[in-house]
Structure 1
Amino acid sequence: MIYNAEAANISIAVGGDAMITRRMSPFKEPEFLELVNILRSADVSIVNLEMLFHDYESSWQWSGTTYTRSDPHNLTELQWMGIDAVTTANNHSYDFSEGGFLKTLEHCKDINLPQAGGGRNADESRAPAYVDSNAGRVAVMAATSTFSEQSRSGPGRPDFAGRPGVNALRHELTHHVKDDVFDALEKANIELGYKEEQIARDFFGFRGVEKDVDSEQDLEFLEHNFVRSDHFGVHTEMNTSDQSGIAKWIRGAQKQSDWVVYGVHCHESGSTGDFHGLSRISPPQFLVDFARWTIDQGCDMFVGHGPHFLRGIEIYKGKPIFYSLGNFIFQNESVLWLPDEAYRRFQLDHNHTPGDYLDTRSGGGSRAFAADPVFWQSVVAVCNYESGSLSSIDLHPIDMGYQRPIPQRGRPVLAKGQIARETLKWLQEVSTPYGTQIDIAGDTGRIVL
């Protein structure tokens, strides 16, 4: 053996959404520096970059939530913490249109911070970013199932350039309803004139070739698909075209790296579990299918994020699937500027400032993210591999300052005592459906294979 990578021993640390708007390096709390040491000590550390880095060179795009922007210098703060690579495909990628996203990718490149999930065309957004570590070369790949259509990257042709954007993982959503409901929807579709509109649109032909449907069993109503069934339910399924495009890049990444990590940003939900914010505890079936499929394709780890809270952990064929690692840094209340439409949603005008808007949006801390501790408690997971196989996962709870004032909350520190135990017990509970055993010792959780 002449290279360390030949031993196939590596530690990979993964975290959730990094919504960073402020510096990290000035702070000296022991619990914060302990977390930084964990990230720096891992051979490779990866988080999802749910923030744009630019100087407002481009126009904003309708978002309806936070218009994410941070000073480009804050990217180096992530590197200071020990972050080696980021994923950039998420629902905020086009908050400031194509220009804001491409500027973010440019700033990552300028400081040699590998990013995956975005590019100037579909292949670039699907391609891996590579991190060379002493323990081996890691390919990082990413997609998002939650996106605006404008942000979805597109393939090029010999005679036409591709479209910049994110690696979008589309899915088909079908509503199963019983006969009486199906018949009522069909009647409404006719009486409201939508059926005639669909016939005219199909005859005109601009929608292209569409799949054949059985009109007795299938119905499109208000841009949703319904089928007759003996039960009520929602069925989700991966888009096979996106799946095929992603598959070739996973195949290539395996040949050019020692390890492959795949991340997906997903706000969509399954049908069980309580709502926290706009998402349920359970992941949607298409995400479960996709996560397992990436492992079947040869990935060594799947990392989900999106709903801003922890979902369960599954060990599938000896490899880890994190359905959501929640937040890693949650400073979405420190953005400096917001467009007029954001203020008007809360009946505010030009006499109000971002501070007024953000305080009003959270009801002074009484609603939304500010009012639920699950958004402010998460984990950093360190996956330890020995001789090519996963041997253990160390789960380090982090505390992002629930109920602290806006200028303080959002920065992670290692959780201690009650907060650490609450976080790990939550993770135990949401991982139970997957048969995953998490042992708790003090302020740390551990999964041993």
Structure 2
Amino acid sequence: MTKKIKITATGDSMLLRKFPVDYNHAEIKNIIEKGNIKLTNLEMVLTEGNVFASTFCGGEWISSDLVNFDELMKYGFNMYACSNNHSMDYSYGGLIETYNYLSKKRVAFAGIGKSLIEATKPTYYTYINELNQKVRVAMISLTTTFIDAARAGDANDFFQARPGINTVRNNSIYYVNQDEMAILKQIAKKTEINGERDNARKNGTLPPEEPGTFNFGGIFFKLSEQQGKLTECNKFDLQRIIDSIKEAKKCADYVIVMAHSHQIKHSDYTEPDYFFEELCRKCIDEGACCVIGSGTHQLKPIEIYQGKPIFYSLGNFIFESHHVEKLPIDFWDKYNFDRLLKIDEMENILSKNGTVGLEFDEINYLSYIPYMEYENDKLSKLYLYPIELTFNGDLIHKGLPVRASQANINRIYTQLVNISQDYGTKLCLKDKFIEIII
């Protein structure tokens, strides 16, 4: 039987307070509600504050009061991706409190867990569509950007499992010519940057280096006539994601992958890294109906691969890092601030009075909500509804999504055309939305 499905999704949700009383969330909710399946990336730790801060963070320690999740739910989301670079900002306690709270709310979420198995496994949502068909959808959440201590782990006969997030590691090799390689080896010899690692390999506590590579302080180089970088997915992690998709395909009519990634090919944030392209395409090959990316706050390309969409990043949906009210002492120490300074005073210093930083770059406040229709696992319609996050001069509403102005609709359209052209994606600007030509 042909089963129809409608999907809407957003990028990163970083909601740190209740809605202002005059904020009209309904206009955005109306777009999201076009979908049967409505997804977002939950980029914050949900906690009442009785947790320990990690020594690392995803840029800044991001936590939100539990009650703020009720505000996020007002948009109508029914599936939540939780694996990202902020998931472990408040260590195991913050992750477990988030996990327990979402479980208590009985919402479909994935990407975090009390073990690697749990963090990797799909979450499911079942609904009845307009044709009175029961449709079951699976969602897998993963991140490629993380601190190693955030990785979930499994149990064995000796130790219990480790809580954490669903991660995909990658391997990077940099290609240099003979002259450059000679210089690297000369520097390594003079500085003894590899001394500790060389001894560890002699003692068998580190695996041998890959043949033909040179390890310079933990970064691997290879000889090549053409200089550059190559990245590829960690084979163990990639296979684990493949297995999760296969598991989901047995139990669901559709499988969605939500993927968070900050890595880039070169120096432009709009370029997804090589290994991330590999990962997203492999997910489609194995049966995912779409891959919905997020990560570096800006929009990235759209690719129609094997007839299925890959959104390499939707950017932000809610971006309220400027409303952080609670931070661990590590934040003061990270920037060598006087501990008597208030948070807003430190933020002013870091942003040079609001002239630099993610929160002050308008490009991070432009996004869209994709609307997809499928019939029997085949994409039949794909529209993009441009949105903008309030930006200029309005601190009360800053970072909250509204319908994009016509000027910003044109701007988003032009940007997507430019960054997606190398993938062969064809876009058509309509009145208030953008159509992807399938």
**TM-score normalised by the shorter chain: which range applies?**
over 0.9
Between 194-203 and 252-261, the greater mean CA deviation after superposition: 194-203
Query: What is the match of residue 238 of structure 1?
Result: 233
Matches within 5 A, 1:10-409: 10-24=5-19, 26-29=21-24, 32-63=25-56, 65-135=59-129, 136-207=135-206, 210-211=207-208, 213-214=210-211, 217-271=212-266, 275=268, 280-346=269-335, 348-409=337-398
Secondary structure in structure 2 of the residue aligned to 1:251: helix
1: CA distance between counterparts of 2:361 and 2:347?
Answer: 16
Kept in 1: contact 2:20–2:396 (CA 8 A)? no
Between 110-119 and 232-241, the greater mean CA deviation after superposition: 110-119
1: CA distance between counterparts of 2:19 and 2:195?
Answer: 58
2: CA distance between counterparts of 1:262 and 1:189?
Answer: 42
Q: Which amino acid aligns with 1:230?
A: E
Kindly provide the CA deviation profile for residues 358-416 of structure 1, in whole angstroms up to 9, marking residues without a partner as x. 33322222111133211000001111113431111111111111233433211101112
Kept in 2: contact 1:25–1:77 (CA 8 A)? no
2: CA distance between counterparts of 1:54 and 1:436?
Answer: 41
> Structure 1 pair 37/27, CA: closer, same or farther in 2 (3 Å)?
farther
Kept in 2: contact 1:365–1:403 (CA 8 A)? no
2: CA distance between counterparts of 1:426 and 1:194?
Answer: 43
2: CA distance between counterparts of 1:196 and 1:388?
Answer: 54
2: CA distance between counterparts of 1:114 and 1:349?
Answer: 43
Matches within 5 A, 1:420-439: 420-439=409-428
Kept in 1: contact 2:120–2:241 (CA 8 A)? yes
2: CA distance between counterparts of 1:194 and 1:184?
Answer: 14
Q: CA deviation at 1:205?
A: 2.2
Compute the TM-score of the two structures, normalised by the length of structure 2: 0.94
> Structure 1 pair 25/116, CA: closer, same or farther in 2 (3 Å)?
farther
Kept in 1: contact 2:231–2:274 (CA 8 A)? yes
Q: CA deviation at 1:105?
A: 1.1
Compute the TM-score of the two structures, normalised by the length of structure 1: 0.92
Q: CA deviation at 1:20?
A: 0.9
2: CA distance between counterparts of 1:212 and 1:351?
Answer: 48
Kept in 1: contact 2:116–2:152 (CA 8 A)? yes
Q: Which amino acid aligns with 1:88?
A: C
Kept in 2: contact 1:18–1:328 (CA 8 A)? yes
Q: CA deviation at 1:121?
A: 1.0
**Unmatched segments (≥5 aa) in structure 1:** 1-5
Q: Which amino acid aligns with 1:239?
A: N
1: CA distance between counterparts of 2:35 and 2:240?
Answer: 31
1: CA distance between counterparts of 2:31 and 2:19?
Answer: 15
2: CA distance between counterparts of 1:153 and 1:257?
Answer: 25
Kept in 2: contact 1:416–1:443 (CA 8 A)? no
1: CA distance between counterparts of 2:42 and 2:247?
Answer: 24
Secondary structure in structure 1 of the residue aligned to 2:64: coil
Q: CA deviation at 1:300?
A: 0.5
Q: CA deviation at 1:281?
A: 1.3
- RMSD of Structure 2 on Structure 1 (CA): 1.7
Secondary structure in structure 1 of the residue aligned to 2:214: strand
Kindly provide the CA deviation profile for residues 20-59 of structure 1, in whole angstroms up to 9, marking residues without a partner as x. 1122484453xx4221111123101101111010022221
Q: Which amino acid aligns with 1:170?
A: R
Q: Which amino acid aligns with 1:19?
A: M
Query: What is the match of residue 3 of structure 1?
Result: none
Kept in 1: contact 2:174–2:229 (CA 8 A)? yes
Between 98-107 and 33-42, the greater mean CA deviation after superposition: 33-42
> Structure 1 pair 211/247, CA: closer, same or farther in 2 (3 Å)?
farther
1: CA distance between counterparts of 2:55 and 2:97?
Answer: 18
Q: Which amino acid aligns with 2:151?
A: R
Secondary structure in structure 1 of the residue aligned to 2:258: strand
1: CA distance between counterparts of 2:429 and 2:271?
Answer: 23
Q: Which amino acid aligns with 2:257?
A: Y
Secondary structure in structure 2 of the residue aligned to 1:413: strand
Kindly provide the CA deviation profile for residues 324-366 of structure 1, in whole angstroms up to 9, marking residues without a partner as x. 0100110111122112232345553333222222333222221
Query: What is the match of residue 132 of structure 2?
Result: none
1: CA distance between counterparts of 2:21 and 2:101?
Answer: 22
Q: CA deviation at 1:137?
A: 1.2
1: CA distance between counterparts of 2:19 and 2:370?
Answer: 20
Q: Are 2:437 and 1:440 aligned?
A: no
Secondary structure in structure 2 of the residue aligned to 1:81: coil
